[in-house]
Structure 1
Amino acid sequence: MKRIIASIATITALALPALAPASTWNIDPDHSNVGFKVRHLMVSNVKGNFEKHTGVIDLNDKDITKSRVEVTIDTNSINTNVQKRDEHLRSADFFDVAKYPTMTFVSKKVAKAGQDKLKVTGDLTLHGVTRQVVLDVDGLSKESKDPWGNIRRGTTASTKINRKDYGLVWNAALETGGVAVGEEVTITMEIEMIRK
């Protein structure tokens, strides 16, 4: 009988770590940034960001590949520090925020990509179009407790998309050749998150 009880205890002890849920973290919008850059007039890059965004990350430190990410970005919160340009970007020529008020990213796969690097594959939905993208992610920082007792971690993720793939096709031809707005957009997310 003692052997049976001991065996059950051993099996339970071995099973518990596997059954333990991943820790859940909320993105801290006050200390995170979702930014982008795109070529302008074939001569320079214009940068901007989205000031409103939320996200949840389920982390599995035992097996990081079993982690999950979900982010929602308010397209109306776009800010390039030029009001007239921001209004144009919100219009039907670009984001059409009245019809598509958010863009989302939902992960489907997390893979290790070298020392402290990850590749997170997921669906990016923008302007009513969903396409698969791969985020290049720097390894997560160690946990840190802030002065108010919150546990925090941070990371950086980036990817490149072609805006035309999402129906953002507006442009203007230049007299010298080329176009006013580049097609490739680099997206960078500086993320700080708080454990629930």
Structure 2
Amino acid sequence: MRISMIALAAAAALSAGLAQAETATYGIDPTHTFATFEISHFGAAVNRGRFDKKEGSVQLDKAAKTGKVEITFDATSINSGTAAFDKHLQSADLFNAPQFPTFKFVGDKFTFDGDKVTSVAGNLTLLGKTAPLTLTAKQFNCYQSPMLKREVCGGDFEATIDRTQWGMNYGIDWGFPKNVHLVVQVEAVKQ
């Protein structure tokens, strides 16, 4: 009986080690990763912008269906296509880039449907405040890159957030909406 308990414990330890060994690390590909936002402008048009500088990594264990993602975006790299609007977006009215030059998403609750990631839940830290955020995958895939000769995983993720959760209240009194649509396009290369 004692020998079979020892064998069972050894098998459990070996299995735990194998599951850990399946976790792969992927580096964010900055040429295929962007966070964009869309917010209505008095119901007449939609203001859009994106953040051009970002860095981060993804840890993914496909067998255990677990993972962790950390992506930091540079608020000073906001790009709406209009320099004057970019300057206002970076001001204390909105992203306050002089005081908070970056914002970060950390997600560690991955939901899968088969081999496909369907959502990632975690926290968004913006303007010095942290609040929950769940990004829903509109598509997700892993593939062997013919150019990089390595595996690449990525997808398009979306969420609609209430910007006032992070203290971004500019324009609310004038009728600007508090809801902002986020689209995060991400690809990461296996290291």
Give the length in aligned residue pairs: 185
Q: What is residue 32 of structure 1 aligned with on the other side? A: 33
| Structure whose residues are more often strand by fraction | 2
Letter in 2 for 1:48: G
TM (normalized to structure 1)?
Answer: 0.84
Written as runs of structure 1 = structure 2, the 5 A alignment for 1:1-196 is: 11=11, 14-64=15-65, 66-112=66-112, 116-138=116-138, 140-171=140-171, 179=175, 181-196=176-191
The residue matched to 1:42 in structure 2 has which SS?
coil
Closer, same or farther: CA 114–15 of 1 in aligned 2, 3 Å: closer
**Matched letter for residue 184 of structure 1:** N
Gaps of 5+ in 1: none
> 1:50: how far off?
0.4
- For 1:168 and 1:18, the matched residues in 2 are separated by 42
Question: 1:72-128 CA deviation, whole Å, 9 max, x = no partner?
Answer: 000111111011111001011111101000110111422236884522111100011
Q: 2:97 is paired with a residue of what secondary structure?
A: coil
CA distance in 1, matches of 2:124, 2:69: 12
Tell me, yes or no, if the aligned pair for 1:116 and 1:138 is still in contact at 8 Å: no
Is the 2:136–2:158 contact (alpha carbons within 8 Å) kept by the matching residues of 1?
Answer: yes
1:16: how far off? 4.3
Contact 1:121 1:135 in 2 (8 A): yes
1:130 to partner: Cα distance = 0.6
Query: SS in structure 1 opposite 2:125?
Result: strand
Contact kept, 8 Å, 1:42 with 1:182, in 2: the verdict is no
Q: Cα distance 1:16–1:172, how it changes in 2: closer, same or farther (>3 A)?
A: closer
Which stretches in structure 2 are left out of the alignment for 5+ residues? none
In structure 1, what is the Cα distance between the partners aligned to 2:117 and 2:150? Answer: 25
SS state at 1:155 partner: strand
Task: Say if 2:19 and 2:64, in contact at 8 Å, map to a contact too.
Answer: no
Q: Report the Cα distance in structure 2 between the residues aligned to 1:17 and 1:129, rounded to whole angstroms.
A: 38
Matched-pair contact (CA < 8 Å) for 1:117–1:137: yes
Alpha-carbon shift at residue 53 of structure 1 (Å): 0.8
**Structure 2 counterpart of 1:37, which letter?**
E
Quote the offset at 1:192 in angstroms.
1.4
Q: Percent identity?
A: 26
Decide whether aligned partners of structure 1 residues 129 and 23 sit closer, same or farther in structure 2, where only a CA change above 3 A counts.
same
Q: Pick the structure with greater CA Rg.
A: 1
